[in-house]
Amino acid sequence: MKRGQRARVFCASMADVFEARRDLNPWRERLWTLIEETPHLDWLLLTKRPERILQMTHWKADWPKNVWIGTTVEDQESAEERLPHLTRVPAMVRFISAEPLLSEVNIASWLGSSIDWVITGGESGHHARPSSPSWFRSLLIQCMQADVPFHFKQWGDWGPGEGINLAVVRKTVREAQDGTQMFRVGKKAAGRLLDGETWDGLPIIKAA
């Protein structure tokens, strides 16, 4: 605050603030108070349970301007199920984390009017599945058409090979759903270039 800069806090990256557990209620109350006491920080809260957001917060229609609320959308079914709940939350920023993206998703009807930011990426871990590059391109085009910031976080364990010296990288090859050959080279080697570019879109928020 003294530097005149805003910082973003991604809260509970390994948990879900809106998990239905009563033993977490005291911790949630502490979090709401902390958010109110730190208007110079933008708090990012991501959940797979957007239907519980309004039940578990006490802000009603008067939400702090430093809360960004998001939900995970991995496929069209989860988009249809979760986005109607998310769009009812009167937060300064509502966002989607389409990571891992497991199918093509059409969210055009929500972008701009209800959704302010899209983050997306592929899957990592022992059982990671390759995401089709066309799925990410589709999301990018939808965001461009709606003038919504787009952030491509990573390919995950499987990448299309652009910018990678495949001759020196141990790899497994699998065909993605759209027919693209994907190489299992690991998250670090796969990188985060989409069609040769990095996409670091971010909502522009004025200081509270």
Whether residue 72 has pLDDT greater than 90: yes
Q: What percent of the chain has pLDDT over 70?
A: 95
Whether residue 166 has pLDDT greater than 80: no
Query: Is residue 36 in some structural domain?
Result: yes
Q: What angle do CA 80, 160, 164 make, to 5 degrees?
A: 140
Q: Is the peptide bond before 39 cis (omega within 30 degrees of 0)?
A: no
Query: Is residue 150 in some structural domain?
Result: yes
Q: How many structural domains does the chain have?
A: 1
Query: Is residue 203 in some structural domain?
Result: no
Query: Is residue 186 in some structural domain?
Result: no
Query: Is residue 184 in some structural domain?
Result: no
Mean pLDDT of the residues in the chain: 93
24-38: average pLDDT: 96
Q: Which of 128, 74, 82, 135 is nearest to 99 (CA)?
A: 74
pTM comes to 0.92
Query: Is residue 67 in some structural domain?
Result: yes
115-124: average pLDDT: 97
Query: Is residue 126 in some structural domain?
Result: yes
Lowest mean pLDDT, pick from 111-120, 142-151, 179-188? 179-188
pLDDT confidence of 208, banded at 50, 70, 90?
A: very low
Condensed to tens digits (0 to 9), the pLDDT of residues 137-160 reads 999 999 999 999 999 999 999 999
Query: Is residue 47 in some structural domain?
Result: yes
Over its C-alpha atoms, the chain yields an Rg (Å, rounded) of 18
Strand partners, 183: 159, 173
Residue 62, Cβ neighbours under 10 Å: how many?
A: 7
Token pair 């001759």 in the structure block, residue: 167
